[in-house]
C-alpha cells in the first residue's frame, strides 16, 4: 500500500468532514440562532471565533489542507494532469468536485471576513450599539446570509461529486 496516498486521503477526508461540517453547522444553525439572539448571540459569536477557541483558524487550515490534499491526490491519479483518466467518469467527477471545493475555500474566506467583522463590532459595543455599529452589524449579517447560502451550496456540490465520482460513467 502506498503510504502517501493513505496519508493524503486521511487528510482530505478528515479535513473535509471538519471543514464542511462546521461550515454547514454555521450556515444552517448557528448564524440564524445568533441573529435571532441579538446581543447575547453576538457575544457568543465573539467568543466562538475568538483567539481563545481558534475555531476560525482551525476551520481555515482544514479547508486549505483538504484542498491541497485533494489536488495532490488528483495530480497523482492523473499522472500530473496528463492521463486519459482526467476525461474518465471518475476523473471528471473528482475534477468538478475539486472546482466546487476551491470555490468553497473562496466563499469560506468571504464568510470568515464577515464573521470577523461581526464579532469585532459586537465586542466593541458598550450598552446599546451606535448607528455606525448597527450599520456594520446589519451589513455583515446580510453578507453572511448571502455568502452562507453560496458556501453551503458549493460545499454540498463538492461533497456530492466527491462521494459519487468513482461511479460516474460516460
Q: How confident is the model at residue 160 (pLDDT cuts 50, 70, 90)?
A: very high
- DSSP-derived 3-state class of residue 51: coil
pTM summary value: 0.86
CA-based end-to-end distance of the chain:
29
For 74-104, the pLDDT digits (tens) are 999 999 988 888 999 999 999 999 999 999 9
Question: Domain containing 61: what range?
Answer: 3-167
pLDDT reported for residue 90: 93
Distance CA 47, CA 122 (A): 10
Cα-Cα-Cα-Cα torsion 86, 21, 12, 54, nearest 10 degrees, comes to: 140
| Number of domain units in the chain | 1
CA R_g for the chain: 19
Say whether pLDDT at 52 is over 80. no
Pairwise pLDDT comparison (110 vs 66), residue with the higher score? 66
Amino acid at each position: 500500500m502506498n503510504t502517501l496516498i493513505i496519508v493524503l486521503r486521511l487528510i482530505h477526508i478528515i479535513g473535509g468532514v471538519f471543514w464542511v461540517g462546521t461550515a454547514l453547522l454555521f450556515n444552517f444553525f448557528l448564524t440564524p440562532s445568533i441573529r435571532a439572539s441579538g446581543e447575547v448571540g453576538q457575544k457568543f459569536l465573539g467568543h466562538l471565533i475568538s483567539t481563545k477557541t481558534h475555531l476560525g483558524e482551525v476551520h481555515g487550515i482544514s479547508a486549505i489542507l483538504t484542498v491541497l490534499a485533494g489536488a495532490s491526490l488528483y495530480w497523482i491519479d492523473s499522472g500530473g494532469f496528463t492521463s486519459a483518466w482526467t476525461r474518465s467518469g471518475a476523473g471528471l467527477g473528482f475534477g468538478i468536485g475539486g472546482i466546487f471545493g476551491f470555490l468553497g475555500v473562496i466563499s469560506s474566506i468571504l464568510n470568515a471576513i464577515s464573521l470577523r467583522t461581526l464579532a469585532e463590532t459586537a465586542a466593541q459595543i458598550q450598552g446599546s450599539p451606535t448607528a455606525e455599529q448597527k450599520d456594520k452589524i446589519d451589513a455583515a449579517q446580510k453578507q453572511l446570509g448571502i455568502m452562507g447560502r453560496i458556501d453551503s451550496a458549493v460545499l454540498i456540490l463538492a461533497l456530492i461529486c466527491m462521494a459519487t465520482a468513482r461511479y460516474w460513467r460516460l
